[in-house]
Structure 1
Amino acid sequence: MIVLDVVVDGTRVETVRPANQRPQELYWIMVDLMDRLQSKYGTNVSLYRRLEHAG
């Protein structure tokens, strides 16, 4: 399962687990998420993808 870590000023503040794991859908989820996160936390926001074992 692919999860997205939200990092603000070098600190992980939340982890997002998208329900849809298709690569094209993940791209648009990340684009939409960045807009919302930048309005919430400011401009120093990064998203990191990682794999997480589901089990």
Structure 2
Amino acid sequence: MDDIVLIQASNVENDSAIQDLKTTCKIKQIIVYRYDEEKNVFYDLTTQAS
């Protein structure tokens, strides 16, 4: 059974920081959404790279 953890982070626009988190925490998959406050919408920024 896998755990699912949701993390809200401010200004995480650095791909290497996201990859560091993935490596350090042994995360299998990261799904990244960015919120646009002006448009009140979320954008899926997830890449299929492993």
**How does the TM-score come out when normalised to structure 2?**
0.42
Flag the structure with larger Rg.
2
Q: Which has the higher helix share?
A: 1
Q: Which has a greater percent of strand? A: 1
Higher relative contact order (CA 8 A, sep 6+): 1
